[in-house]
Amino acid sequence: MRMLRLAALLICGAIACGAQTAPAFEVASIRVHDGPISRMADVFISGPRLTLGAFDIPNLVLEAYDLKPYQLSLASGFLQGGSPFYDITAIAAQGTAPTRAEFRVMLQGLLASRFQVKLHREKRELNVYALVVDKNGPKLQSGSGDAPCSGVTGPEHPTDRNYRYRYKNCPMARLVGNINSDRPILDETGLAGLYDIDITATPAFRLRTSAEPGDVAIEDSIRQLGLKLEPKKATVEMLVVDSAAAASEN
């Protein structure tokens, strides 16, 4: 069975990985989100400043460790009554401009020190889909130019039922990481190029609750690309949140 392994650098925040001191924020302001939530889990980066808007603790862990939701599990009794939503402004060393990956390592330390987050890893067998090339081969449009990968995922208008997956000059990982499916998807296509992709599909959470004319299963949309989703079981490495505490405001 295929193993999904979290990057060693990201797991170091949960387990001691050596004596080297991890980078940390010089200052961090944490406040409970005030008022209704119009945008959840909003991330903004500017130079040494990281701003996180309307994050609860599970979503903070997802961001800090760069996880998909299925890679995170909450221990029984975790934060009885749920987690508040927080707005966080954190600043790294002046004169620096950390990448999002570097900010994530700092956020891991913030979770441990300010939220008392304790974690461990374990492996579980899950139902997944393997994304593979169909028998007639891929029908993908190669990306063009030197522009970095860009794209959008979601409804084109707030009232749209279907999602559009539209990417320019992107690897398969971009599509796989954004498909709204009823189970995790593993990229087993072996395709290493950059592609332009434009498909429309009905999110799994909508298909589970109702059916309407015009619905398009993601399996059918994927077939347009000469690919298919095969159900299987795989052993997945999970990050489990054992305990955490509400952060005090400052």
pLDDT 10s digits, 94-131? 999 999 999 999 999 999 999 999 999 999 999 999 99
Average pLDDT over residues 29-36: 89
Q: Does 10 share its domain with 98?
A: yes
Number of structural domains (the chain) is 2
What percent of the chain stands above pLDDT 90?
Answer: 59
Q: Does 71 share its domain with 175?
A: no
Q: Does 89 share its domain with 9?
A: yes
Q: Does 110 share its domain with 145?
A: no
Residue 198 lies in a domain: yes
If you search the block for the tokens 């399996």, which residue do you land on? 219
Q: Which domain holds residue 75?
A: 3-124+236-243
Q: What is the pLDDT of residue 81?
A: 65
Q: Does 119 share its domain with 148?
A: no
Residue 132 lies in a domain: no
130 phi-psi bin (left φ>0, alpha ψ -120 to 50, beta other): beta
Q: Does 118 share its domain with 142?
A: no
pLDDT score of 183 more than 70: yes
Q: What is the pLDDT of residue 15?
A: 40
- H-helix or E-strand containing 234? strand 227-243
Q: Which of 159-168, 182-191, 204-213 is predicted least confidently?
A: 204-213
Q: Which residues pair with 164 in a beta bridge?
A: 154, 200
Q: Does 142 share its domain with 103?
A: no
CA 51 to chain centre: 17
Distance CA 5, CA 65 (A): 12
Are 92 and 23 in contact by the 8 Å Cβ rule? The answer is yes
pLDDT score of 178 more than 90: no
Q: Does 82 share its domain with 162?
A: no
Average pLDDT over residues 169-175: 92
CB atoms within 10 A of CB 137: 9
Residues whose CB falls within 8 Å of the CB of residue 160, separated by 6 or more in sequence, listed in order: none
Q: Does 118 share its domain with 143?
A: no
pLDDT score of 56 more than 80: yes
If you search the block for the tokens 């599970």, which residue do you land on? 58
Q: Does 146 share its domain with 206?
A: yes
Are 15 and 248 in contact by the 8 Å Cβ rule? The answer is no
Residue 79 lies in a domain: yes
Q: What is the pLDDT of residue 249?
A: 66
Q: Does 28 share its domain with 112?
A: yes
Q: Does 56 share its domain with 150?
A: no
Rounded to two decimals, the pTM is 0.72
Residue 46 lies in a domain: yes
Q: What is the pLDDT of residue 34?
A: 85
